[in-house]
Amino acid sequence: MNNTGVARASTPIWVMGLTNATFGMMNGFAVVTLPQMLAAEGVPGGHIAAITAIIISPGFWAFMFSPMLDVRLRRRTYALAFCVLAAVCTAYTVMHHSNVATVEAVMILGYLSAAFYQGAVGGWMGSLIRADEDSRLGTWFNVANVGSSGLIIVAGGPLILHASALHGALFMLAAMLTPPVLFLFIPAPAPDRVLAAESFGRFSRAVLTLLRRRDVLIGLALFMLPSASFSLTNVLGGIGNDYHASAATVSLFAGVGSMIAGIGGSFLVPQLARRVALRPLYLAIGICGALFTLGTLLLPRAPWAFGFVFGGEIIFQALAFTVAFGIAFQIIGPDNPLAATLFTVLIAAMNLPITYMGLLDGWGYDRGGLIGSFLTDAGLSMAACLLLVLTLRRWLFEPQIAPAPMPAE
CATH number, domain containing residue 129: 1.20.1250.20
Please give the pLDDT value at position 355.
Answer: 79
Q: CA 120 to CA 126: how far, in whole Å? A: 10
Q: How many domains does the chain have?
A: 1
Confidence of residue 42 (pLDDT cuts 50, 70, 90): confident
Q: CA 313 to CA 231: how far, in whole Å? A: 9
- pLDDT of 99 strictly over 90: no
Q: CA 347 to CA 63: how far, in whole Å? A: 8
Mean pLDDT of 6-20: 81
- pLDDT of 252 strictly over 90: no
Does residue 334 lie within any of the structural domains? yes
Please give the pLDDT value at position 291.
Answer: 97
Does residue 403 lie within any of the structural domains? no
Does residue 399 lie within any of the structural domains? no
Confidence of residue 81 (pLDDT cuts 50, 70, 90): very high
Mean pLDDT of 84-111: 93
Mean pLDDT of 64-69: 83
pLDDT single digits (tens) 195-204? 555 545 555 6
Q: Is 333:3 a contact under the CB 8 Å cutoff?
A: no
Percentage of the chain modeled with pLDDT above 70: 90
Does residue 398 lie within any of the structural domains? no
Q: CA 29 to CA 27: how far, in whole Å? A: 5
Q: CA 179 to CA 123: how far, in whole Å? A: 16
Mean pLDDT of 141-146: 92
Domain of residue 348: give its range.
3-392
Does residue 175 lie within any of the structural domains? yes
Give the residue from 203, 277, 216, 185 showing the smallest Cα distance to 402.
216
- pLDDT of 325 strictly over 80: yes
Confidence of residue 189 (pLDDT cuts 50, 70, 90): confident
Q: Is 409 exposed, middle or buried (0-12, 13-18, 19+ CB in 10 A)?
A: exposed
User: Which of these ranges, 16-30, 39-53, 166-180, 222-236, has the smallest mean pLDDT?
Assistant: 39-53
Q: CA 150 to CA 145: how far, in whole Å? A: 9
Does residue 401 lie within any of the structural domains? no
Please give the pLDDT value at position 402.
Answer: 47
Q: CA 355 to CA 126: how far, in whole Å? A: 26
- pLDDT of 394 strictly over 60: yes
Does residue 58 lie within any of the structural domains? yes
Q: CA 314 to CA 254: how far, in whole Å? A: 10
* Average pLDDT of the chain to the nearest whole number: 85
pLDDT single digits (tens) 340-387? 888 988 998 998 888 788 778 888 888 888 899 899 999 999 999 999
Does residue 407 lie within any of the structural domains? no
The 10 Å Cβ neighbour count of residue 228 is: 29
Question: What is the three-class DSSP state of 101?
Answer: helix
